[in-house]
Amino acid sequence: MAPENNGTSFRVLDPTATQSIATDGMAERPESLAGMRVGLLRNDKLNSEPLLDAIYDVLAERFDLSSAYRVNKGDASRPAEPEFLSDFSNEVDVALLANGD
Amino acid sequence: MTNVPRLTSNSIEVPGALQAIETYFEKGWSDGLPVVPPTPEAVSATLEAANLSPDAILGIEPVKGAVITAEKAAINAVMAGCKPEYMRVVAAAVDAITAPEFNLHGITVSTMGAAILLVINGPIAKELEINSGVSAFGPGHRANATIGRAIRLIVMNVLGTRSDEGLDKATLGHPGKYSWCIAENERGLPDNWEPMHVTRGLGESESSVTVFSGLSGAQFGDHASNTPEGILYSFAERIYPLGLGVHEVILVICPEHAAHFDEAGWTKQQIGQYLFDTIRKPESEWVPNGLPSGIKNGGEGDVSSLQSPESVIPIVVGGDGGAWSAVIPTWSLGSRSKAVTRKIKSNG
């Protein structure tokens, strides 16, 4: 039940902040995965590896993939370093990420 | 009133105090408890008490780049029930939690469910009546309750880290996520111990806040031991289950236990070295989780639970009566979140 007006009206302030969120947009989607080098980027969580492997196996049944490139960014709580991502992107055509708690 | 700082936050008109409280519930701006309606006058007074301009940046959360301005911090501090004079502590705490090594994003979104423990040192604890004694972790002390709550409200409202529809994914969480702020009981320190902030590089006459990514603590009673070794055996039994790789762990030492260290002339550094040397097992006997306790007293080649003697951070807390101390682990066992100390600016 809403409380009744119990006094003179007054103004109060919004405690939230609108944070600008940087976005680079979505990467261009490939027409097909055939011949692609697939990057599997783990986040250091125990189950991220089997999850990515399972997805890779499903994709490999449907597409003639070139290779899998497995890396671990080593810390689930922080973004990967730019140099790490740069090296990773040089080795792959498409990438899969997983958070496997 | 002259020189009122210009506030830029959106404002809404409410027909009365109770309606204002309900409005903050409805908008998802509370922590589940009623808040003090943050009027522009109250927020301005809070900023003025800390000599802060509304647009001053108190901290930037490193992962998202989210900015915490003095104005937003002050609004949340008023909502938490802070007196204006508490704002200096809130400002220093925001500076501390946004230090990269604290890893605020990780500790507040993780399933591990850490809370932010604030430990205050120096003269400001007495000045603001921040409790360090009887029931230090309990309710009934405005400064403790509202300063800790302000930090949580800032995390929820300014950073958007909420458990209802936000980024907080803690499996369990714990009550410290409402509010968790104490002072070290510097009166109860052994004669040869410096307060924590001095150990961490500040001067004794300075005031500070130290932030920890605290998990639920394990309290224990040891009314039988009256030697450092005996008391530390009880601490060790609570550290063993944490397993290997403990980078930082808080030892909450009650004054009665602290007195035994004083009588024996033990330093804080000796405590760290003793536990580092003692909490050891062959590497094959350690398992990642659910470790059975049992001190083996460290044979040749055994591996310590602790990364180094400095991994234990002893603080003296609590009332004079009772032999109840506690171990408070930190998020990721301190490997990815480090305690951070910041000086609290004086108003003089």
| B256-276 tens-digit pLDDT | 999 999 999 999 999 999 999
Q: Measured between CB atoms, does A5 come within 8 Å of chain B? A: yes
Give the residue from chain B lying closest to A4, CA to CA.
B19
Contact A17 B63 (CB under 8 A): no
Please check whether residues B192 and B234 belong to one and the same domain: no
Contact B11 A11 (CB under 8 A): yes
Please check whether residues B302 and B345 belong to one and the same domain: no
Which of A15-24, B66-75, B289-298 ranks highest by mean pLDDT?
Answer: B66-75
C-alpha–C-alpha distance, residues B158 and B269, integer Å: 39
Please check whether residues B92 and B119 belong to one and the same domain: yes
pLDDT of residue A1: 44
Q: Which of B236, B243, B251 is nearest to B303 (CA)?
A: B243
Please check whether residues B121 and B229 belong to one and the same domain: no
Range of the domain at B38: 13-215+338-348
Nearest to B106 among A8, A17, A78 (CB): A78
Tell me the average pLDDT across B129-143: 98
Please check whether residues B248 and B111 belong to one and the same domain: no
The mean pLDDT value of chain B amounts to: 93
Please check whether residues B225 and B250 belong to one and the same domain: yes
Please check whether residues B230 and B185 belong to one and the same domain: no
Does a structural domain hold residue B55?
yes
Residue B192: pLDDT above 80? yes
Across the A:B interface, residue pairs with CB atoms under 8 Å apart total 107
Please check whether residues B101 and B243 belong to one and the same domain: no
Please check whether residues B117 and B70 belong to one and the same domain: yes
Query: How many helices (H) and strands (E) are present in chain A, helices listed first?
Result: 2, 4
Contact B103 A101 (CB under 8 A): no
Please check whether residues B205 and B243 belong to one and the same domain: no
Domains of chain B: total? 2
Rounded to two decimals, what is the model's pTM? 0.91
C-alpha–C-alpha distance, residues B12 and A98, integer Å: 42
* Helices (H), ranges, A1-101: 48-62, 82-91
Does a structural domain hold residue B312?
yes
Which A-chain residues 7-36 have CB contacts (< 8 A) with chain B?
7-17, 19-22
Q: Measured between CB atoms, does A90 come within 8 Å of chain B? A: no
Please check whether residues B229 and B204 belong to one and the same domain: no
**Beta strand segments in B123-264, E:** 181-183, 208-214, 218-221, 249-253
Please check whether residues B280 and B343 belong to one and the same domain: no
**Distances in whole angstroms, Cα of residue B241 to Cα of each of A91, B128, B244, B284:** 41, 37, 9, 15
Does a structural domain hold residue B3?
no
pLDDT of residue A75: 85
C-alpha–C-alpha distance, residues A31 and A28, integer Å: 9
Across A26-30, B103-107, B173-177, B339-343, least confident range: A26-30
Nearest to B64 among A6, A14, A19 (CB): A19
pLDDT of residue B289: 52
Does a structural domain hold residue B1?
no
pLDDT of residue B290: 47
Collect all residues of chain A within an 8 Å Cβ-Cβ radius of residue B12. Answer: 11-12, 14
